[in-house]
Structure 1
């Protein structure tokens, strides 16, 4: 069920001319529900111009912090991001779903060497992950490669500089700017050559255990492909997209499907046209399924197929092993069998 809780906005501060950091106060009775792992996100709900709008934003704060902090970058024609940058202020209340997401750093008790490649607002989960990596073990190290247009458009620039000052032997950052030339920064965007510069040159003697990638699809795919070509195991590469455009070519979808939905230990039945998306059909039946972006970028609407098959329009989130286990993004899934059973509880 899409359970939202009203949280108070404790603070709003400008990060760049086009982004804000919003800190939310969590009351004591909701502390357990809103406990999170570094890298997870929150789904926010707001009525804007008479229409309910939901969006997901990664948490940039550390799990031990008193408040939950997210950052929202204003995007062109972005309904929620434009509204948030212009209207949210301290003292407001906003509806928030508890943290979710699998793009996380799980402390292992063993020293780890981590590298992260982030662009623009992709820094938000990476910042939280970096702090957790540095705190988890005194021998852990973290290398951050962070691309932006200019220093003025760089979110959390001050916080990143503070990490460099506080962990001079453990935290290393390489900035890239695509529109200005700056001292101690590279000019351009993150691509395969930058990956090779970091892994084969600047840190050639360091064996990285994991790589975290976050940002636009093209950047993530190029970094991922370069790492794989360099022999990095796929299981060591973790990524999250903030935009995606890849679409699969679907089979000819004709006819209807009998769908059974399990949600919060209840079973619902419906009949849907195969040309419709599963999530849309479920919501049309007033079934309170979880969802947020409806664009295949977050994983809020994930469910497990227990019978039947679907084809996904987009998928840059679920791994091959997760798909083999039956997980789907219901907002991107068309049924291709006459019957389909999905379970939102078994995820």
Structure 2
């Protein structure tokens, strides 16, 4: 069960003009709770008496080795979002010694280190979870190789530039780096421009033996991830080998990633619908008000329900649909095999049957 604990900020490292890395100290009694797989994320909450603000940020530090007492520190990357309440606070106010409420790790954009060839296509701050995935893999598995294809606007806006260069120095035979700048020409390497579907379709086979890649990790803005997935599918890559995490969805993304509309004959999300939810071993049943999501119905009665973005992106509110049917407004977090298995995003789900049951513990 996800829980918040208060952690102290040990370091604030300026990565670019609009991005910082926060290092958080994990006390000994909490290290087991903060054990994480490479690629997972944390929800951060600003302490205080005002309106609650929480946001999700990926862990960029390597995952702790199996066994042991867990991580002593956790490091996350934060990029400024225009008008973003938490990112503005992080870049302009957070200082060493401050305390933040930090949820225990979550997320399924992960890789269990194993021998083989792996690759990632990332854009902007999408490098953050891949830093943890790539570093953990190369440090733990001597028979693993990794190809990182990253897209950034300019060299000055590139997050973790030194850390990626260090990986290249440490693992020159096993780590391949390809950098593309969309708004700046490089003295060497690929021409500038966006990595869209057409360009990736031509580029990827020239960089790696596509059929030999055991796992593809796509992370960044929706357009980049969608284009990369379509390019890979067009090249014959099985969907099960493609893993995605969206960092930003433009308002104009249309219906991409959404679920089918609910049946017009089903009951509306009014008091005619009753939600039963199991959370942290306890169950309760409550009416669902007209227009509200299942997460909102739970939060009215259980403030400890897990969530972060409420936008269908982070997957923190994932729950198993035990009975009933729901309509999800959008889904940018769950893999097809998860939805096929019965999982939904509570923040995006509205009941279309008179009774719905969710299990947050499964």
* Fold similarity call, TM over 0.5: yes
Q: Under TM normalisation by the shorter chain, which class is it? A: over 0.9
Pair 2,36 (structure 1): closer, same or farther in 2 beyond 3 Å: closer
Asked if 1:28 is matched to 2:28, the reply is: yes
5 Å-filtered alignment, 1:177-192, equals 177-186=181-190, 187-192=192-197
What corresponds to 1:290 in structure 2? 306
- Please list every run of 5 or more consecutive structure 1 residues that lacks an aligned counterpart in the other structure: none
| CA deviation after TM superposition for structure 1 residue 63, in Å | 1.6
Give the alignment's TM-score, normalised by structure 2. Answer: 0.91
Match of 1:201 among 197, 206, 210: 206
Distance in structure 1 (CA, Å) of the matches to 2:146 and 2:282: 45
- Please list every run of 5 or more consecutive structure 2 residues that lacks an aligned counterpart in the other structure: 65-70
Asked if 1:276 is matched to 2:292, the reply is: yes
Contact kept, 8 Å, 1:274 with 1:334, in 2: the verdict is no
Distance in structure 2 (CA, Å) of the matches to 1:89 and 1:205: 44
For 1:134, what is the secondary structure of its paired residue? helix
| CA deviation after TM superposition for structure 1 residue 118, in Å | 0.4
Residue-by-residue CA offset, 1:316-345 (whole Å, 9 max, x unaligned): 221222112211100000000000011111
Contact kept, 8 Å, 2:47 with 2:100, in 1: the verdict is no
Distance in structure 1 (CA, Å) of the matches to 2:31 and 2:286: 37
Contact kept, 8 Å, 1:198 with 1:204, in 2: the verdict is no
Pair 162,194 (structure 1): closer, same or farther in 2 beyond 3 Å: farther
RMSD, aligned α-carbons: 1.7
Residue-by-residue CA offset, 1:68-105 (whole Å, 9 max, x unaligned): 10010000111111111111111111110111110001
5 Å-filtered alignment, 1:56-205, equals 56-64=56-64, 66-108=72-114, 111-186=115-190, 187-204=192-209
| CA deviation after TM superposition for structure 1 residue 182, in Å | 1.1
Aligned residues: 344
Distance in structure 2 (CA, Å) of the matches to 1:147 and 1:205: 19
| CA deviation after TM superposition for structure 1 residue 37, in Å | 0.7
Residue-by-residue CA offset, 1:148-196 (whole Å, 9 max, x unaligned): 1101000001111111111111111111111110123331122224433
Match of 1:304 among 288, 297, 320: 320
Q: Which deviates the most, 241-250 or 28-37?
A: 241-250
| CA deviation after TM superposition for structure 1 residue 133, in Å | 1.8
Asked if 1:341 is matched to 2:336, the reply is: no
| CA deviation after TM superposition for structure 1 residue 265, in Å | 1.3
Distance in structure 1 (CA, Å) of the matches to 2:125 and 2:260: 30
For 2:347, what is the secondary structure of its paired residue? helix
Pair 206,279 (structure 1): closer, same or farther in 2 beyond 3 Å: closer
